[in-house]
Amino acid sequence: MSIGTLPESPIPMLSSISACRAWRQDAFDQKKTVGLVPTMGALHDGHLSLVRRSLHENDLTVVSIFVNPAQFAPHEDLGTYPRTLPGDLEQLTRQQVTVSHDVRTPSAVFLPGIQDMYPSGIHQDVALQKGTFVEVKGYSHQMEGASRPHFFRGVATIVTKLFNVVQPTNAYFGQKDIQQALLLRRMCRDLLLPHPDPDHLHIIPTKRDPLDGLALSSRNAYLSAEERSVANTLYKALQAAESEWTAGKAKDASIRAAEDLAAGAVKEAVVRGIEMRLDYIEMNNANTFEVLDGQSQRQPVGGEPVVLSGAVWVGKTRLIDNIVLG
């Protein structure tokens, strides 16, 4: 089933599962490596950095654009999520890298429809869902999963389907959504997926606004100019915690430094008529996702990596960010 009229683009558009499978079979036949960059569209330079990395590392690169209903709770922003396909295609057309005289551009855009991806149908309310879903148990309820309990089930399910159709040699995810990327790597391992194998699921550093450090995100498009001016509060708060932690302070003290910075910024924002609220800032073990004990301190040698992450509401927009420590 196709998704309707598509804009013109020099990049081939695969709008059905069968077209994508046929494209992939050609690549297998020609022994070409394939990189997959899964997205929900509304592309920005963060996405494009993943695309460029894939272009460097693969003969062919396919970008999927699919706004996945299953990862949005009924009260979330599925209806208003930015959909900017013509602009997305234009940006993709401009991506080009040269690898040993081989000029590479994105090879295809995969644009499945909802019926394609959910043949049994899809309800946003988990209690009403029917059909087959993928859950990464024990790793989906912490950090982002604490605020969005439905989220990782929806992500793991759709990414399994994308992997089953595209069978990528390599897949690319952003560090901005660090828990998502680590959880998906675990999923590849647990499900013994050959395409990609866990070592070929790559996590690419977060692209930020060079002026104020705000992590690029499709949802930044929701921000008014006033809201945008305070949106880097979360990153500044995370940096405050990072510098306390690096100086040898315990987790509780480090998080307090972040919360104090955020509280000051929230007060100033309120005076300017901007609504802002910290959702959470936490430190978790990067392997188990479990919350660190309050007295934990940085281990200069041999310590396990720690994810310092958080979320902030700026007006009606929820933004996330993280820094990996160690």
Ligand X SMILES: Nc1ncnc2c1ncn2[C@@H]1O[C@H](COP(=O)(O)OP(=O)(O)OP(=O)(O)O)[C@@H](O)[C@H]1O
Ligand Y SMILES: CC(C)(CO)[C@@H](O)C(=O)[O-]
Pair 155, 68: CB distance under 8 Å: yes
DSSP string, 11-71: S-EE-SHHHHHHHHHHHHHTT--EEEEEE-S---HHHHHHHHHHHHH-SEEEEEE---GGG
The residues binding ligand BAL (CB under 6 A) are: 71, 177
Min dist CB 172 to ligand X, Å, is 7
Min dist CB 78 to ligand Y, Å, is 12
Contact code string over 303-322 relative to ligand Y, x by CB under 6 A: --------------------
Pair 230, 265: CB distance under 8 Å: yes
207 binds ligand X (CB under 6 A): yes
Q: Pick from 62, 111, 143, 215 the residue near ligand X by CB under 6 A.
A: 215
Mark the segment that binds ligand Y (CB under 6 A) among 32-40, 51-59, 117-125, 164-172.
32-40
Contact code string over 158-197 relative to ligand X, x by CB under 6 A: ---------------xx-xx--------------------
The residue among 77 and 250 lying less far from ligand X, judged by its C-beta, is: 77
68 binds ligand Y (CB under 6 A): yes
| Structure token digits, residue 235 | 């990153």
Beta strands in the chain (DSSP E): 13-14, 34-39, 60-65, 97-99, 102-104, 108-110, 170-174, 201-204, 276-285, 306-314, 317-325
Contact code string over 97-136 relative to ligand X, x by CB under 6 A: ----------------------------------------
**C-beta atoms surrounding 55 within 10 Å:** 24
217 binds ligand X (CB under 6 A): yes
Q: For strand 108-110 and strand 170-174, is the pairing parallel, antiparallel, or unpaired?
A: unpaired
Mark the segment that binds ligand X (CB under 6 A) among 9-17, 192-200, 212-220, 304-312.
212-220
**C-beta atoms surrounding 9 within 10 Å:** 16
Q: Which residues pair with residue 201 across a beta bridge?
A: 171
DSSP string, 145-170: HHH-TTHHHHHHHHHHHHHHHH--SE
The burial of 128, by beta-carbon neighbours within 10 Å (0-12 exposed, 13-18 middle, 19 or more buried), is given as exposed
Min dist CB 219 to ligand X, Å, is 3
- Give the residue numbers annotated as catalytic, written as ranges: 47
Pair 238, 321: CB distance under 8 Å: yes
Pair 88, 41: CB distance under 8 Å: yes
Residue 206's binding partner out of ligand X, ligand Y, ligand BAL, none, with CB under 5 to 8 Å set by partner kind: ligand X
The residue among 254 and 284 lying less far from ligand X, judged by its C-beta, is: 284
Q: Pick from 17, 27, 39, 245 the residue near ligand Y by CB under 6 A.
A: 39
Min dist CB 41 to ligand Y, Å, is 9
Query: Which residues bind to ligand Y, rule: CB under 6 A?
Result: 38-40, 68, 71, 155, 158-159, 177, 180
Query: Which residues bind to ligand X, rule: CB under 6 A?
Result: 39-40, 46-47, 49-50, 173-174, 176-177, 204, 206-207, 215-219
